[in-house]
Amino acid sequence: MADKKEKQDLTVEENTAQENIEKIIDEVKKEKVDNLDAKLQMIKSKICIMKKNAKGFNYNYVDEESILLLLNELLLALNVRLIPSIVPRTLNVDSIQYKSYKDKSEKDITDALISADMIFKFKDIDSGEIEEVTWSLAGQQSDASQALGSGLTYANRYFLLKYFNVATSKDDPDKIRSEQKKKEEEEKKKEEGIILNTIQTKIKKKFAEAIQKYQSKDQVYIELGVSRNDWTKDFNNPTKQNDLLEQLENILKEQ
């Protein structure tokens, strides 16, 4: 039932977005603008209308795909061409090496890193006016051609989103940094947990040997010079565990 409801909600969102796009395009075709600046400003205003409409239907944001679809439809409706190009002699191809730690194995990875300066040119087919905007691309893949392809794709995508001031939840830099930091902290805790369990396992093994040697837990505590509570605290304290393990090894060596 839950999956069916999710699919229905998704269909409603898609239909709503498409209806908004069609409505906005119809409005644009009825309006008359005679210069490139006015057309680009109109595109910005229509994007804002779509975002407000989405909120009106209880959606918090419009997905990037719907925005990009509307942008392309608006450019066509207003007779504006967008021509992306790479600035000659700025395309750089480098290789970078790093270690992959997936599946608990270290692997040397070599990727192609592509970078270049770009120019995005808006051309008004009706008036012949041109507006040029400088941009850049970067792509990283194991294959150079794939790196270039992905770099061009994302350069085009994010140029449109940023030029027309489209803010999406995915692009929030604070959110991205926060999620990355959270992920790093979780990985660190996971690694510390693995090390902690390893040391505790060694301590338990040595403690069992000490019980066999001294016949009782209480006698082991006496030999270590600690109370049961203090021993438990040290056992669960990462800063004390190595010392505790060393003390156990020492009393086991005693004759």
Q: What is the pLDDT of residues 48-102, one digit of tens each?
A: 655 544 444 444 445 667 778 888 888 988 999 999 999 999 999 999 887 776 6
Higher-pLDDT residue of 188, 144 = 144
Cβ 159 vs Cβ 117: under 8 Å = no
Pairing status of strand 92-100 against strand 130-141: unpaired
Question: What count of Cα atoms within 13 Å lies in the side-chain half-sphere of residue 146?
Answer: 6
Higher-pLDDT residue of 163, 30 = 163
Mean pLDDT value of segment 172-192: 64
Q: Return the exposure string of 194-215: e unless at least 16 CB atoms fall within 10 Å of the residue's CB, then b.
A: eeeeeebebbeebbeebeeebe
Rounded distance between C-alpha atoms, residue 130 and residue 79, angstroms: 12
Mean pLDDT value of segment 123-132: 94
Higher-pLDDT residue of 43, 123 = 123
Mean pLDDT value of segment 172-190: 64
Give 82's strand partners.
122
Cβ 54 vs Cβ 23: under 8 Å = no
Rounded distance between C-alpha atoms, residue 123 and residue 129, angstroms: 6
| Phi/psi-derived region of residue 141, left when phi > 0, alpha when psi is between -120 and 50, beta in every other case | beta
pTM summary value = 0.55
Is it the case that residue 27 has pLDDT exceeding 90? no
245, 2, 40: which is closest to 132 by C-alpha?
A: 40
pLDDT at residue 13 in the model: 52
Cβ 128 vs Cβ 8: under 8 Å = no
Mean pLDDT value of segment 113-133: 95
pLDDT at residue 138 in the model: 94
pLDDT at residue 139 in the model: 93
pLDDT at residue 167 in the model: 63
* Number of neighbours of residue 141 by Cβ within 10 angstroms: 16
* Percent of the residues in the chain that have a pLDDT greater than 70, as a whole number: 73
Mean pLDDT for the chain overall: 79
pLDDT at residue 80 in the model: 93
pLDDT at residue 101 in the model: 62
- What the block records as the tokens of 100 is 């992959």
